[in-house]
């Protein structure tokens, strides 16, 4: 079975308690949907939101946030795939997770010369529609990634983003890939 890291915003845009609670609920529903979906019988969902539910999501003290993020990245490094849910483009935490994944993973090309997945993007609406490939993650999102070249992440300039200038998200599979 493969361990799949489930990246989902926690605090959201507002950081208000109601939004945090809504994100926690949706994340739990996503993990449950993965476990109950026969397509994902070989998947063990690894959710930092669930794993670290004992931590205070409203604590915004920089040292606390940094320590919490280090826990999340430790879990991420133990996983074989990264699946992204929710409004990740507004979540600093999810963006750090994606950045860490892309800058530490070296699996860009499969042995059969095809592109191998780096990140899978999904959307989850409710139990009725379940989990499906995110069709709206396109060039605009990649442009957002490229803008990160100028931003500080984990206190250091991420020059590695230049390597990802040719990334694309396949609209049919939701897989973020990179041409060599």
Domains of the chain: 2-178 (3.40.50)
39 DSSP assignment: G
pLDDT at 158 over 50: no
Q: Residue 163 has what pLDDT? A: 42
Q: Residue 57 has what pLDDT? A: 93
Q: What gap in Å lies between CA 65 and CA 81, rounded to an integer?
A: 24
pTM of the model: 0.71
- Look at 145 and 136; give whichever has higher pLDDT: 145
Q: Residue 115 has what pLDDT? A: 43
Q: What gap in Å lies between CA 167 and CA 114, rounded to an integer?
A: 14
pLDDT at 50 over 90: yes
Collect all residues with Cβ–Cβ distance below 8 Å to 111 and sequence separation of at least 6.
Answer: none
H or E element in which residue 3 lies: strand 2-7
Q: Residue 118 has what pLDDT? A: 55
Local structure of 12: helix, strand or coil: coil
Q: What gap in Å lies between CA 68 and CA 63, rounded to an integer?
A: 9
pLDDT at 20 over 90: yes
Tally of CB atoms within 10 A around 124: 19
Show the tokens assigned to 106.
Answer: 């070296």
For residue 78, name the pLDDT band (cuts at 50, 70, 90): very high
Mean pLDDT for all residues in the chain: 72
Give the rounded distance of the alpha carbon of 176 from its chain centre.
11
For the chain, the first-to-last Cα distance in angstroms comes to 29
């Amino acid at each position: 079975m493969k361990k799949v890291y489930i990246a989902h915003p926690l605090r959201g845009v507002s950081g208000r308690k109601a939004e945090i609670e809504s994100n926690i609920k949706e994340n739990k529903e996503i993990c449950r949907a993965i476990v109950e979906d026969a397509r994902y019988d070989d998947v063990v969902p690894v959710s930092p939101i669930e794993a670290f539910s004992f931590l205070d999501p409203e604590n915004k003290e920089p040292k606390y946030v940094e320590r919490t993020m280090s826990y999340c990245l430790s879990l991420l490094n133990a996983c074989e795939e990264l699946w992204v849910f929710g409004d990740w483009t507004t979540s600093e935490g999810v963006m750090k997770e994606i950045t860490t994944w892309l800058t530490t993973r070296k699996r860009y090309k499969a042995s059969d010369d095809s592109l191998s997945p780096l990140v899978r993007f999904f959307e989850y609406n409710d139990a009725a529609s379940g989990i499906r490939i995110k069709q709206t993650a396109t060039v605009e999102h990649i442009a957002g990634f490229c803008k990160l070249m100028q931003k500080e992440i984990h206190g250091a300039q991420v020059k590695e983003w230049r390597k990802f200038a040719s990334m694309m998200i396949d609209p049919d599979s939701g897989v973020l890939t990179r041409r060599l």
